[in-house]
Amino acid sequence: MHWNVVGGCGNMAALQQALAAMHADDKPGWAQPMDIMTFNEVDEISSNSSTSSDQPFAALTNAINASAPAGVTYTLARYTNQSENGVGGAQAMYYRSDRFTEIVSGHKDIATGASRYTDRWLLQLNGYSDAKARIYVYGSHLKASTGFENDRNTGMTAIRNDANALGAGTPIVYTGDYNLYNNTEPAYVTLMAAGNGQGVDPYGTGNWVGSAGAIKHTQAPAQSPGGCLVGGGLDDRFDFIVPSIGAADGNGFSMLASTMRAVGNDGAHYNTDINAGNNAYFPGQLQRSNDLADALWLAADHIPQLLEFQVPAKLSAQFTTTLPAKAIRGTSVPLSVQIQNVAPYVHASGVDDLTYAVSCTGGVSGTAAGTAALAPAMTSVSVSLNTATAGTVTGTVTVSSSSEAVEPPSVALPVSVSVIRPSNPSLDATADVDSASLSMSGSPDTGSLTVDGLIRNVGYDASQSKLDVDSVTFSGASASRFSMTQGIGAGLTTGNRTLRFAFNTAGATPGTYATTATIRTSDETAAGEQARNVTVAISVEIGGGIFGDLDESGSVDAGDIASLLIRFGSCAGSCPEDLDGSGEVDSGDIAVLLLLFT
């Protein structure tokens, strides 16, 4: 914002009211508290013996603070007064310290004639480090009245000479009461001349004279205000906000030209009071517009201007999910990267586009480029991890941006993943076997028969996945009689794990029962983990039902003693020859068998 406040000789309550209205000015389609305010004709306080610094009159600071929205505070930038009170006062700038930081060493007083000095301030946009996120702001007040065109050009030449020394592309905003009557004035031509710091008029370089240019006029809002205020009605464009080409090219910090406006000027009050009849500055809101016009009529003999700017992009890049600690060799492992433009904004048009490019090094591959979404939306890009060889795979995913003054210019995402061989289940203690057979026999209604097998993880070492035994299913007509009571569990490394299968004899009739147990195994938790099945064919013979009739001859006799003697020794699991349940086939079982002789 820029405003000539005429040394505070207008109505300060009305000035405060107008400032509050500008914070809420939503003509572009949105509103936000003003970030930077420059003023002309700001007197130095009459008594400042207690401080070594110049200070503006307190009423202006009080009005600024009182009009600010809740939670928004303003800081006075470096203020100097080179004995300028006699020509209306010096230039002052206030800024939001939560949005900007003043670089005081960038301040400069530039003599521009008629006992006036232009102030040059330097602000750093908070959260950005690039030099093009620094904004030079000039506040100027050039000699008034016709006949002083050359004086104004001398002042503007001094300003341009200073700006030219800042280098090409430097973001600059020129503000001030230039007292220019038309677009052919030498000072205006000098401001728009080619070179470093060339000005770009948001309205375009067309003339503003007469009623056709009324929407641009800033002096004077009252025809006959009385007191120290100059009257005449709105008929001149004396006040300007003009960015340099480095702040008007659509890149980084750059003006939004369509938002330029003289506050309260509806274009229908040429050469008359700004509050004559109804004012339509806010379309469809007559009362709001009229209230603002009344305040401007009283506050000063200039009306303020507002111009919106976009800020540079801010790059955020991160993996969408946590990187896997491990990945299975030879599997596809996509890594998803989320890219966002996280620059703060009130409206999406207030942020520069974030162009991005993705590149990868080491064990990560993939490229991508485009324009990132503005937060809270996001752009997702997928790159791939190289899993061809077991071992630790390292690499970097770099997301960079060429957008002007982007913060930061790049983000590096390191990758380190352990690639391991898949697990390898086997049902044999010495060979790599995926299918096996087991058998057991018994009599009806004798409880559960059990038989043991094994499973192991062939070739396990630190570069191989652990083996998880996840589940088992049984197939066949008798599947419901079978279960696996031992063996389910995760994390099998070296050694064998017992797989114990059981058969329920309750209500079973003599005969053969068969099933296939399909055992689902998988790799440990890792990217690309896979499942593998192994199968066990199980056969169960159920005899006629006479306890001790081991050969199913229909009687307990010498043939059963022969069967028992064949199985002498340790009995793994459950076997029918272990008649006394001792876990071994021995003399105790012979004694039981003799008692059963028929």
Cα–Cα distances in angstroms (integers) from residue 238 to residues 147, 155, 207, 212, in the given order: 15, 15, 13, 16
Q: For 442-467, what is the mean pLDDT?
A: 95
My answer on whether 410 and 284 are in the same domain is no
**What is the DSSP code string of 311-341?**
B--BEEEEESSPPPSEEETTS-EEEEEEEEE
**What is the DSSP code string of 217-232?**
--B-S-SS--TT---S
Beta-bridged to residue 442, according to DSSP, are 542
- pLDDT score of 567: 86
- Supply the mean pLDDT for the chain: 94
- pLDDT score of 321: 86
My answer on whether 383 and 331 are in the same domain is yes
Side-chain-side CA neighbours of 477 within 13 Å: the count stands at 4
- Residue 160: pLDDT above 50? yes
- Residue 4: pLDDT above 60? yes
- Contact predicate 207/188, CB 8 Å: no
- Residue 545: pLDDT above 70? no
My answer on whether 361 and 460 are in the same domain is no
Three-state SS for 442-485 is ECCCCCEEEEEEEEEECCCCCCECCEEEEEEEEECCCHHHEEEE
H-helix or E-strand containing 262? strand 261-262
Count of other CB atoms within 10 angstroms of residue 56? 23
Per cent of the chain over pLDDT 90 is 85
My answer on whether 353 and 297 are in the same domain is no
My answer on whether 366 and 461 are in the same domain is no
CATH assignment at residue 428? 2.60.40.10
Give the model confidence (pLDDT) of 304-360 as tens digits: 999 999 999 999 999 998 999 999 999 999 999 999 999 999 999 999 999 999 999
- pLDDT score of 52: 43
My answer on whether 508 and 535 are in the same domain is yes
My answer on whether 528 and 540 are in the same domain is yes
Point out the least confidently predicted range of 18-32, 51-65, 135-149.
Answer: 51-65
Per-residue DSSP letter, 85: G
- Residue 551: pLDDT above 70? yes
- For the chain, what is the domain count? 4
Q: In a 3-state reduction of DSSP, which class is residue 35?
A: coil
Residues 6+ away with beta carbon under 8 Å from 591: none
Q: For 457-486, what is the mean pLDDT?
A: 97
Residue ending a domain, choose from 282, 310, 338:
310
Give the model confidence (pLDDT) of 178-220 as tens digits: 999 999 999 999 999 999 999 999 999 999 999 999 999 999 9
Residue 301: phi and psi, rounded to 5, are -100, 15
CATH assignment at residue 590? 1.10.1330.10
Torsion, Cα of 56, 57, 58, 59 (10° steps): -130
My answer on whether 132 and 120 are in the same domain is yes
Asked whether the bond before 510 is cis by omega within 30 degrees of 0, the reply is: no
- Contact predicate 481/503, CB 8 Å: yes
- Contact predicate 549/556, CB 8 Å: yes
Dist. CA 136–CA 418, nearest whole Å: 51
Cα–Cα distances in angstroms (integers) from residue 582 to residues 503, 569, 575, 577, 588, in the given order: 20, 11, 11, 11, 9
My answer on whether 428 and 416 are in the same domain is no
pTM for this structure?
0.81
Q: β-strands 2-4, 36-42: how paired?
A: parallel
Residue ending a domain, choose from 379, 396, 420:
420
Count of other CB atoms within 10 angstroms of residue 62? 12
Query: Which domain covers residue 322, as residue numbers?
Result: 315-420
pLDDT band at 46 (very low <50, low <70, confident <90, very high): low
Q: For 420-445, what is the mean pLDDT?
A: 95
- Contact predicate 458/465, CB 8 Å: no
Residue ending a domain, choose from 288, 310, 332:
310
My answer on whether 209 and 283 are in the same domain is yes
- Contact predicate 90/80, CB 8 Å: yes
pLDDT band at 593 (very low <50, low <70, confident <90, very high): confident
In the structure encoding, which two tokens stand for residue 445, read together?
A: 């209604």
Give the model confidence (pLDDT) of 247-297 as tens digits: 999 999 999 999 999 999 999 999 999 999 999 999 999 999 999 999 999
My answer on whether 353 and 442 are in the same domain is no
My answer on whether 292 and 439 are in the same domain is no
